[in-house]
Structure formats: structure tokens, C-alpha cells
A and B are shown apart, each in its own frame.
Chain A
Amino acid sequence: MAYSEEVLDHYENPRNVGKMDDKDQQVGTGMVGAPACGDVMRLQIKVSDEGVIEDAKFKTYGCGSAIASSSLVTEWVKGMTLDQAADLKNTQISEELALPPVKIHCSVLAEDAIKAAIADYRKKNG
């Protein structure tokens, strides 16, 4: 199966790979996994006092599409409010990356990861 150029670009030059201190009050951490392929994804956001995502980092163990999906999400959410980021849909990710049907679940995983990170931040700062 051929990867699209967008996937290859994110796969070869992933943006925002890394880890933040998950005990930091300003940091929300989302961990998700896909049993179908065994992929594991960690996505973290750093939120300002105004509720804007200042920074995002990810680490994904999985296929090229899963890495590209999480890389793209970290790029997109920077500068967004939590509500805006929570509205991100996996279809936007899969369209941008031109994911084939068998790889749609990778974009679902990235959507679930950002939602989990937001939920974790809100729980911490509830």
C-alpha cells in the first residue's frame, strides 16, 4: 500500500515528538491504544491560563499513518482553545493525510488521544 505524500512527510519529519511533565498542572496527557494493530499513542498539551493550547507533544509506537495522524494533530491544536481542539474530527485528519480506508482507525486514534488529553487537563483543573 502506498502512503500519501502528506503521510510520508509527517512520518519522515514528525513534528513535536517528545514528552512533557505529566504532573505539571498545565499539562494534559492522553494515552490511547488500538487493539486491532497494537499501536500505542501518547499525546500531551500544555494549556495557558486563558485556556489556549500553547504547546503539544506526542509519542506514537505504530505504523506510519498513526505517527502522521498524531503529528498532524499536535500541529493543528497549537493556538486552539480547548473547545476548538475538542471539536477536531478524525475525518479532517484522514482527509488531510489522504488515508486509505484500512488506515482510518489511525485517525480515530489521534482524535481519541486529543480528546483524552483535554479530558485529563480538565480533570486536573476542574
Chain B
Amino acid sequence: MAIEQNYFILFELPQQYQVDTALLSERYRALQKTLHPDRYAHKSEREQLQAVQASAHLNEALATLKSPLRRAAYLLSLKGVDTDVSHQTVSDGAFLMQQMMLREQLDDARHADDPFEALEELLEQLQGSEAELQQSLESQLQSDDPAVLSDALDNLRKLQFFDKLRHEIERVEDELDDL
């Protein structure tokens, strides 16, 4: 059995940044059933192996489309953009200055009179910036113009910094909860 390679086609979803996650989960469960190992228990070893591989592909497809960041990177890769960021550095001064400031604010929030309120404010600020970036990313990802896609990749990278910051904020919240 062959499994569809393109994640969007696999789940019969439009190839775009916005994804109906309820529908995604529903289609995932339906596909998962067809690949369940029990159904292949009496089949040949080759078919069992193929089912396992297809199942792994299906899980990878779900994880990719579920995460907005991974979904955006996947869309860019479908359009031929190299999204490997492992060896890239960002040098957009104004943006990095903002990131630095937000992290300093996070440090300060720890020692604020009401740390939870300070963290909440920081989170709101972060969500505002994220929403803006996501909005432009969404429209940029509809384009096939390399210049626009390169801007999309920039926005994706920026969103990765905000994602990290969100994790940091949540970590501090957990630490404070444990006190």
C-alpha cells in the first residue's frame, strides 16, 4: 500500500497556513484505523513493514500540521524554500533588541511584587506581536513570489524566538507555582 506523501493531500485539507484542527484530528483518527497493526497481523512481513512505515509517516504528518511553526516551515518547503535554520543567525538589530528587552522583562517579572501579573502582561505583549507576525505570514504563504516567501521565512524565524520566550515564561510560572 502506498501512502500519500503530501501532508495536506493526505488529510484532504487545503494547502494553506490556516488549518481546521478538529477536522485534522478527525481525518487522522480515520487514517490511523486503516493502518492499525491488528489489521496487518495476518498479512505478509513486507505489508506489515509498509504499514508501520505508513503509520510513522501519518504521525509525522499530524505533528507537522498541528504545530503552526512546523506547518509554516512545511508550506515553505513545499514551495521550494530551504527552511533549515540550524546554522543560521539572525542579525535584525531592532528585532533582537526587542527580544533582549522582553527577556530582561522576564527576569524582572520574577522579582516583581506581583510576579504573576507581570508575567501575564508579558504574555499579552508576546501574543500581540505573535498575532501580527502570524497574520502577515498567513498572507505571505499564499504567494509564490520568492521575495515574498523570503519575507515569510523571516517572519517564521521571528516566531521561533517568540515561541522560545513563551516556553521560558511558562517555565518561570511553573517555578513560581512550586514555591
Question: A: which residues have CB within 8 A of B?
Answer: 31-40, 42, 59, 61, 105, 108-109, 112, 116
Q: Which residues of B contact A109 (CB under 8 A)?
A: 89
Is B86's beta carbon under 8 Å from chain A?
yes
B103 touches A108 (CB 8 A): no
CA distance A108 to B89 in the complex (A): 8
Closest 6 pairs between A and B when the two form their complex, measured CB to CB: A38-B164, A35-B157, A31-B96, A33-B90, A61-B103, A35-B85
Which residue of A31, A38, A42, A105 is within 8 Å of B161 (Cβ)?
A38
* B-chain residues with CB within 8 Å of residue A112 when the two chains form the complex: 89, 91
Contact call B88/A34, Cβ cutoff below 8 A: yes
In the complex with contacts A31-B97, A31-B100, A33-B99, A38-B160 CB distance below 8 A: yes
* List of A residues within 8 angstroms of B86 by Cβ: 36, 105
B165 interfacial by beta-carbon distance below 8 Å: yes
A33 near B161: Cβ-Cβ < 8 Å: yes
Contact B163–A38 (Cβ < 8 Å):
yes
Complex partner residue of B93 from A31, A35, A105, A108, CB under 8 angstroms: A31
Is the CB–CB distance between A40 and B100 below 8 Å?
yes
22 A-B contacts, Cβ less than 8 Å apart? A31-B91, A31-B93, A32-B89, A32-B90, A33-B95, A33-B96, A33-B161, A34-B88, A34-B89, A35-B85, A35-B160, A36-B86, A36-B87, A36-B88, A38-B160, A42-B96, A61-B100, A61-B168, A105-B86, A109-B89, A112-B89, A112-B91
In which size bucket is the chain B interface? 20 to 34
A-B contact count (CB 8 A): 59
A37 to B99 Cα, complex, angstroms: 13
A31 to B89, CA, bound (A): 10
Question: For A32, what are the chain B residues with a Cβ–Cβ distance below 8 Å?
Answer: 89-91, 96
Chain B CB count within 10 A is highest, among A35, A105, A108, A112, for A35
CA distance A61 to B96 in the complex (A): 11
Q: A39–B161 Cα gap in the complex (Å)?
A: 7
> Quick check: B91 and A37 within 8 Å, CB to CB?
no
Having A31-B96, A33-B95, A35-B90, one finds 13 other A-B pairs with CB under 8 Å, namely A31-B100, A34-B88, A35-B158, A36-B87, A36-B88, A38-B160, A40-B96, A40-B100, A40-B161, A42-B96, A42-B100, A105-B87, A108-B89
Chain A residues whose C-beta falls within 8 Å of the C-beta of B96 in the assembled complex: 31-33, 40, 42
A108 partner, pick from B85, B87, B90, beta carbons under 8 A: B87
Q: Is the CB of B165 within 8 A of A59?
A: no
Q: Compute how far the CA of A100 lies from the CA of B88 in the bound complex, rounded to whole angstroms.
A: 18
The answer to whether B89 touches A33 (Cβ under 8 A) is yes
| Chain B residues whose CB sits within 8 angstroms of the CB of A34 once the complex forms | 85, 88-90
